[in-house]
Structures are given as structure tokens and as C-alpha cells.
Structure 1
């Protein structure tokens, strides 16, 4: 499958504002990454309460996200973005005034609604805005906006806390989400698809998006395993400050997303996805055999290139494969790969570690992603990477 390389305009006002909205949302979320655990500890929370409160929001998106995708396809993309931002703004600010674990847990559950609504509907909005001939590049820069916030947000949140205290972090995060409401307001809602106008409703999970999402799932499982278990491996082998793995990963991913997207518009999605999966295999092999800090850094570089390329290619492929009026649903299916990995990787790979040691997690991850490469090319031979002409947006 090869996508045409026409040079229709990409950087429209609506596209830029959607990227800025996405960055602002993720910044408001990631401000809390480094500060919320410390805040809970500071107000007397136990270690198990830290994990419970911080991770409370993760359950909500896996249930709600498919419905957000369907509602996006029915023409509610911008409304859902704004609704999710309101939820975030109103649920983050009150955290500054309470140290009760039950209240913090409830507020994090509410934030899970925003986490389900904004990324899915904003991605669907972006998909409807970008020209089909530059879909991969558009998806890549969209991912770059979220990735930039993920790199900047935790550092900024820690700095805010050091300067003005924990309460300031919650207020600033809330104001950041509220400011995004002003950013997204001028964006023009793209037209809905013909099937929606005729009253027909597509499946909750578009079947043609499941194959790209299943390939991407292998990568999210591998990266989530690294996120959870790399600190243990580093301590076991004396590998130094393994947090720099994620710094290298983040920087490489920022480069890989737009570059991989642009290349995929020219040569097709499968070569870019194959490159990304191969990079992730190498990263996991390097971690499994790592005996030095330099190898950890090299693994971070490979992981960033791998995840950035795979996510961009799989997202663009999922959009290519479904009719325009199912692209919100396709977005939700792809993002579910993160939700499933977040819930399942710790349990599945934890069992592996208990049987054969921590290093076996990374060797197992390498094998899983290698299998995904084989499945990808078998799927290509069977027509599972073929685009549909119905993925093009209808005329305004």
C-alpha cells in the first residue's frame, strides 16, 4: 500500500490550533506526573495509596474511549474536546484543597473521563482536518505535540512545586486545561460523513482498524514493560541512572514521528512500521543484555525511533483503512492499545519475571515484537494493510 505524495497544504489554522490544544491538554496532565506522588506522600498517604490514586484514572478510558470515538464520528469532535477540557480543569483544581485519599481518588477517576475524551476526539478532529495525501505527516506532528508535553510537563510540574508548592501545580494545571478551551474555540468542525448524514451508525470498534491496532499493541506492551521494570533491571545490574533511557527515548521519538509520517506518505505505511518494530526489537535485546549505562542509552535511542515510527505508521494505516465516518472509532481502537498495555503489561510480564528473572521480560518483549513483524507482512500479503478510497473527507 502506498499513499500518494501530493503536497496539499498541511499547516492550516485549524490544524495548528488542534496541535496547540493537544499540547496544552497533555501538559496539564503531565504536570502531575512527578508532583502527585510526592503530594500524596506529603499529606500522609501510604505507598499503596500513592499507586491507587495516581493510577485511578487509567480504568475509565478503556471503557469510555470507544464511545468517544463513535460520538466523534457523529459530529461531536470539537464538543468532546471542550467537554474533556472542562472536566480536567474542574477536577484538577480541587486537588489543591484536599489531603483526603478518598477525595483524591474520586477526582482522579473524574480526570479519567477527560483522558478518554480529549485525546480521542482531538485526534479524530486532526484526522478530519489534514489532507489525505499528507495524513502520515499530519499524524506525526500530532504525536509530536503530545510527546513534547510528555517531556516538558513533568519537569515543569516539579519546578512549579519547588518554587510555589504543590497547590500551585494543581492551579496551573487547571488553568492550562482551561486555556486550551480558548485555543480550540476558533477551530472549524469538519463535516460528518455521508453515512452519518443518512442516519446510519458504524460499529463501535471498526473491524478494519483492529489489525493496525494489534500490531501497535505489541509495541505498547514492550515499552510499558520497559517503563515498569527497567528500574529493577538497572538496580540489579548496576546500570546507573536508567531514567536517561526515557530521555533518549523521548528525544528520538519526537524526531521519528513527523519524519516517519512524511516518509509513510511517500513509500507507504508498512515500511515505516517495519522499521519501527525492528527498532523496538533491537531496543529490547539491548536492554535484556545490558551491562553498561551506554547500552541503556543506545536502547533508549532505538526505542524512541521504534515507538515513534510504529505509532505514526499504525495510526495513519488505521485511518487509511476505514471510511471517513469511522475515523473517530479507528482512533479510539488504536489508542486502546495504550490502555490495554497499561493494565496488562505489569501483570503479564510480572509473571515472566517471577519465573525467569527481570531480564526475561525484555527478551520476551523482543520476541513479541518480532512476531508482530511477521504478522504485519502476512497481513500485508492478505490485504489487511490495503487502504479504502472512502477514507477521504467529504467536500465541505
Structure 2
């Protein structure tokens, strides 16, 4: 008999994750256009707006991981969700580029706290025998937010205005807070809290985190510049359809990939997923019609969703429950750093080489991510230890 996965707390985590990522991706898709079109700034300025957000989340991750391993995780979820709500409310007062920069740093801090806290609690509640499947289903909340956030955000921004979009983002963050309060988290062992040393990185997940860093370098070309790319090609609505296909592909593929991964098919599924992801990025660089963007979105959704879920499962299963907070913060710290660095570097590439070559270079970066995965995990051994904290091995066939 399989361990129970669908508890009330697990379903609340998925729902809270959806509303959080809905507001996040709505702002991510629209703010570059807001900065360029309304504030009359350059594409580099749009990249900076996204970069400082990641800097904020990076700062938060240095501290939140150790806090999650030392204090009550439910209280930290409450604090994080309240701060996330406040950050969304403050967009109404950010009328200048400078004030928007400061707000993005603060919002990034709250986002870093929220994502690390939700991921840590999810990893704790999901049965060890169904980690891949559970993390895959949890990822559907993010995927659904990725589908609807940009689609709704771009529509409201184009037809109503930016303040109406800020209102919906605020309501979504309020729902994140309400639903998050339904999550029940097991109390931590007090003795474990006292004995635990303060640390900001988990050494057991450094290799997989570095691979995620390279993955993020390539991924940020989509998250940061896709809407500007479609606008430059006089196809502004193509971005919405791209994200729709991208998110739907992730929603469908993530749970399926997770189940396959749990059955010890890691090496095969990750290799195929990387190949699909690279093909999708190359197709995106040559896209010129709605059909091209939709097909590229499907390939990229399957590829990125599968790779990210598998890497995250390996990371989670590399440590025991008492170190999940630091492990998650380390992993996301590397991932966010990749997005921050990539937003700056790829923004420069856009000005020098154009959008198409920027996407082609991104596909090369993703290939290097796979190359390091091959060197660190596939080439060294046919058995990947993904559950060191619990003393179990899982074959990477």
C-alpha cells in the first residue's frame, strides 16, 4: 500500500503556491514592459528591475534556511506570507524608477522567504517513497501560476492599466496568506534545535545546486525577456500564448516525470528532458509565428519542468529533515544567483547581438548544465545517492 500523499496540508501547500506564483509571474511578465513603455527606460533597466528582485531573494535565503531548521516552520510561514502581502501592496506607491528598485529588493526578500519555506514544508510532509511524485504535484501550483499570471497580467495591462494589475496581484498574495494558515506542520524536536550549528550552506547539495545555477542562467532568457522579444517582433500577444503552452506542458509533465523518477529511471529521464529543453530554446530563437511560439513553449515547458523537478528531488533526498531548510535555501540561492547574473549578462547580449542570438547562447548554457550533471552524477557512478540523510540509495538507471 502506497504512503498517503494527498493530505489537507499538502493540498493547501499546492494552492498557496499557485496564488503566490500567480502574482509573481504576473509582475515578472509585465514589469519589463512597464519600465520600458511607461517609465521610458531601456531594456537594460528592465533587466535591472528583475535582477535586484533576485538580489533581494538571495539575501533572504542566506538566513531563512537556518531559521527553518531552528524555529517553528509554521510561524515562519505566517511571517513570510504577511511580508509578501505587504510588498505587493507597496507597488501602488512606487511611482519612480528609484522607488521601484527599492521595492523590488524588499519584494525579492519576501519571495525568497516564501519559496524556501513552502518548499521545505512540502519536502517534509511528502512521504519519502513518493518524493518525486509529490514534488512534481507541488510544482503544478507554480506551473499553473506561470500559465495564468503572465496571460492575465498582459491582458489587464494592455486593456485596463498597471494599477488594476497591482490590485489583482495584491488579492492573490492575500489568498496565499489565508490558505497558508491551513497548513499543519509537525513540531521540530527541541533538542535538535539546541544542538544544531548555524550554517548558511548545505555541503551535501552544492553540486546539484551548481547545476541548477547553470540551468537558471539559461532559463532567465525566458522569464526576463520573452515579453520584450515578442513585442519587438510586433507579436505582443504571442507572449501570452507562449506562457500558456509553457505552463500547460509543465502541469502535465511534472507529476508524470516525478513518478518515473521514483521508479529509479533518473538518468534516462533527465537526459531526455535536457535534450527537449535545448531543442525548445533553439526553436524559440527562430520563431516568427504564433505556431512557432506555441510549439517552443510546449517543448520548453516539458524540458524545464522535468529537469527542475528531478534536480529538486535529488536535492531534497540528499539530506534528512532537520537540514531541509538549509538545503532548500542553498539550492534556491544558486538558482536565484543564476537568474540575477543571467538577467544582466543576457540583457547586454540583447543590446549587442539581438534577442535571437541571446536565446541561442542560452541553449549552449543549458547544455553545459547537462554536461556538469553528466560529470558529477552519471559518469562517476551508476548509483546516485539521493537519500543520504535516511541511508537509502536510489538507482539512476
- Which region of structure 1 is more displaced relative to structure 2, 272-281 or 206-215? 272-281
- Taking the TM superposition and a 5 Å limit, the aligned residue runs for 1:114-125 are 114-125=110-121
Identify the residue that residue 26 of structure 2 maps to in structure 1: 31
Q: Which deviates more from structure 2 when the two are superposed, residues 158-167 or residues 251-260?
A: 158-167
| Alignment coverage as a number of residue pairs | 387
> Does the residue aligned with 1:321 lie in a helix, a strand or coil?
coil
Per the alignment, residue 11 of structure 1 pairs with 6
**1:240–1:183 distance in 2 versus 1, CA, 3 Å:** closer
**Does 1:260 pair with 2:276?**
no
Of residues 109, 113, 116, the one that matches 1:113 is 109
Shift of 1:114: 0.8
Task: State yes or no: 1:196 paired with 2:229.
Answer: no
* Aligned 8 A contact 1:92 1:170 in 2: yes
Give the SS at the match of 1:189. Answer: coil
Question: Which residues in structure 2 correspond to 1:89-108 (within 5 Å)?
Answer: 89-108=85-104
In structure 1, the gaps of 5 or more residues are 1-5
1:3 matched residue in structure 2: none
Question: What's the CA shift for 1:233?
Answer: 8.2
2:245 matched to which residue of 1?
Answer: 248
In structure 2, relative to structure 1, the CA distance for the partners of 1:379 and 1:328 (3 Å cut) is farther
Partner of 1:303: 300
1:174-213, aligned counterparts within 5 Å? 174-192=170-188, 196-201=192-197, 203-213=199-209
Query: Which segment is superposed worse, 200-209 or 48-57?
Result: 48-57
Q: Could you list the per-position Cα deviations for residues 315-341 of structure 1 after superposition, in whole angstroms to 9, with x for gaps in the alignment?
A: 111111112211112212222243122
Change over 3 Å in CA distance of 1:370–1:43 after alignment to 2: closer
Structure 1 residues 230-271: Cα deviation after superposition (integer angstroms, max 9, x where no partner): 789889999998635444332212222111111111225433
8 Å CA contact 2:51, 2:343 repeated in 1: no
Q: CA deviation at 1:359?
A: 6.7
- How far did residue 350 of structure 1 move? 6.7
Partner of 1:155: 151
3-state secondary structure, aligned to 1:192? coil
CA distance in 1, matches of 2:266, 2:308: 11
Q: Could you report, residue by residue, the CA deviation over 1:331-362 in whole angstroms, capped at 9, with x for unpaired residues?
A: 12222243122122245557778589557515
Q: Paired residue for 1:78, among 74, 80, 93?
A: 74
Q: CA RMSD in A?
A: 3.6
Separation in 2, partners of 1:161, 1:234: 16
- With normalisation by structure 2, the TM-score equals 0.82
Taking structure 1 as reference, are residues 106 and 219 closer, same or farther at Cα in structure 2, changes over 3 Å only?
closer
Matched, 1:142 2:150: no
User: Partners in 2 of 1:60 and 1:155 — Cα distance?
Assistant: 25
Shift of 1:44: 4.5
User: CA separation of 1:371/1:55 partners in 2, compared to 1, >3 Å: closer, same or farther?
Assistant: closer
The partner residue of 1:322 within 319, 333, 353 is 319
Task: For structure 2, list consecutive stretches of 5 or more residues without a partner in the other structure.
Answer: 393-397
Aligned to 2:271: 274
Distance 1:219 1:161 in 2: 30
CA contact 2:33–2:228 (8 Å) conserved in 1 = no
Counterpart contact for 2:219–2:339, Cα < 8 Å:
no
Change (3 A) 1:310 1:391: farther
Task: Name the CA shift for 1:193/1:309 in 2 (closer, same or farther; >3 Å).
Answer: farther
- The separation in 2 between residues aligned to 1:174 and 1:291, in whole angstroms, is 35
Q: Match for 1:331 among 328, 337, 349?
A: 328
- Counterpart position of 1:372: 372
Q: Deviations over 1:147-171 (max 9, x none)?
A: 1112111222344456764333323
* Range that drifts further, 199-208 or 305-314: 199-208
Distance 2:129 2:317 in 1: 10
The offset of 1:302, in angstroms, is 2.6
Q: What is the rounded CA distance, in whole Å, between the counterparts of 2:232 and 2:89 in structure 1?
A: 40
Distance 1:340 1:143 in 2: 20
More deviation, 332-341/235-244: 235-244
Take 2:278 and 2:235, find their aligned partners in 1: how far apart are those partners?
20
Q: Aligned in 2, Cα 1:260/1:75: closer, same or farther, shift over 3 Å?
A: farther
Aligned match for 2:17, one of 19, 22, 30: 22
In 2, Cα distance between equivalents of 1:341 and 1:182: 31
Cα deviation code 1:51-107 (max 9, x no counterpart): 544543221112221321121122332222222221122222232245233333222
Q: Is the 8 A contact 1:269 1:316 kept in 2?
A: no
Q: Distance in 1 between matches of 2:17 and 2:112?
A: 13
